Every structure is written in C-alpha cells, then in structure tokens.
Structure 1
C-alpha cells in the first residue's frame, strides 16, 4: 500500500505512438487535505475510490489505498467533490521493464502533460524515454489534487 513513483514533465507527443493503451479519466476530490486526499475517479466505465496519505519529504512515496466502485456510485460521488474536476487522457507506455503512465490534461489544464513511473524501491533504475523532460517528483503544484484547485491555465509561465 506504499506507492513509490517518480513524476516528469513530457517534452513531446511522441509517447502517443508508443502507447499500448489509452483511457479517458474524469476525477474529483472529496478531500484535498495535506494529511489525506480522497479521490473519486471514472476510468472509462469503471469507478475507483482512492485515499492517499501525505508524501515523504522527498516526494517519492506515500500511502495509497484504492477500491473499485460502481460507475453510478462514482458519478454520484463526483457531484459531491470539491470544485475543480480533472479531465484527462491516460496513455500507458512500456519502456523496458517499466510502465509509464502519461496524462494529457484537458479543460483548464490543457497543455499540461505529466508522466509517472512506479518503482519497487526509491533507488530502482529505469530507462528514460526521449520524450521525458524535467523531473517534478515532490513538487506539489503538479499533484492532481492541486491542479484541481489551481489549474495549469492560471500559472504564470
């Protein structure tokens, strides 16, 4: 239940040609407290409820619990969420032994593309594809719970 992941900005759309799957995701947050976030997600025709604990100081790991729920339950819970629903397309790309999840955001977060890779240990080596850009692991402004409150289109770039 401890998730270890690294997060990166994406520098091009080349990942789309390498993706073996893609799925539309809509998600909202019932709670965005730093001590815990509670997320409701629609992934295609499935619902998921997720609780995440606080990140470690380096931002590499945190507690995560997930439970599949009915689509109708997820739709009902989304109506109770805090302001700022996230709309994105998730692409999955296999690079050597790892799966990168690349999220292309829409709506108020249009233009933001973030890749994540889950690891089994903090120092695990992984191959970096050429479309992987700056690492933003631990930078909370890139957490979905934060971009739901302060969307990418409001950032001063």
Structure 2
C-alpha cells in the first residue's frame, strides 16, 4: 500500500503540472473580447451617445493610428454631467473633446501576454479590464474579469 500513495501523488503532480502549463499558454490574444472605441476627435456627446446607444459601461479613445489614449467609464461621464448643474443643456457636450475626460494612457497588455499575467495586473492596479494591443500598440480587444471567469475555472477545479 505504501507504493500506491507515492504513485498517486506522482500522477496528481503530473496532471497538476500539465494543467499549470496549459493555463500559462492561454494568451490575451486568444480570449480577448471586442473593444469599444471612438476616435480622439469625438466629443463628450459622442461618448454619451455611444455608451447609451450600445449599453456599454466603458469606451476607449484611440488616436488616428488606433493606439489607445485613454479609457472613459460611463460612471465618470455621469459624474461630469451631474457637476454641470448651472447649465444642463447639451451644447457643452458637443463642444468638449472627449480627450479632456482622460487623464493618462491606459495600462495595456500585448496579445501575447499570458492571461494570468493580465489578471495579476488587474488585481494589483484595481482594474476591471485591460486593453489588448499589438506590437505597434494598436488596440485589438479587451480582457476583463468576465474573460478571466470564462476561461480560468476549468484549470482551478
């Protein structure tokens, strides 16, 4: 009987190593979702319209080359609109460039980045999604908590 326990352990170890290697092979490019983006020439009105028309919770602003300049969340837009209590007409939305709503370029990952690394970045930086870019920095897609929950549980069980 003593021989059976180490054999079982070895089999579990081999299976565990195989699962570990398999999960490390999943890249962001393989599992990413479509990114929601508008050009950097978009106005705040364009952002509000796109978010409400498509029921999105976020949108990326990209430059002429498709490189993400920033990300705008629907809640941030609502906060800005709420602060405009003196003049609530929509004229200011047409005149204000959406780029004024972004503060810094978003943290991004490459298509070749392992999904586990993207998950770790989201946890460390308290993000719910990351843009996926190619080697030139052009926006390809997005990975999020929901991406993680769709693809990682089979390796955890």
Fold in common (TM above 0.5): no
How high is the TM-score relative to the length of structure 2?
0.21
Q: Which has the higher strand share?
A: 1
- Greater Cα radius of gyration, structure 1 or 2: 2
Q: Which has the higher helix share?
A: 2
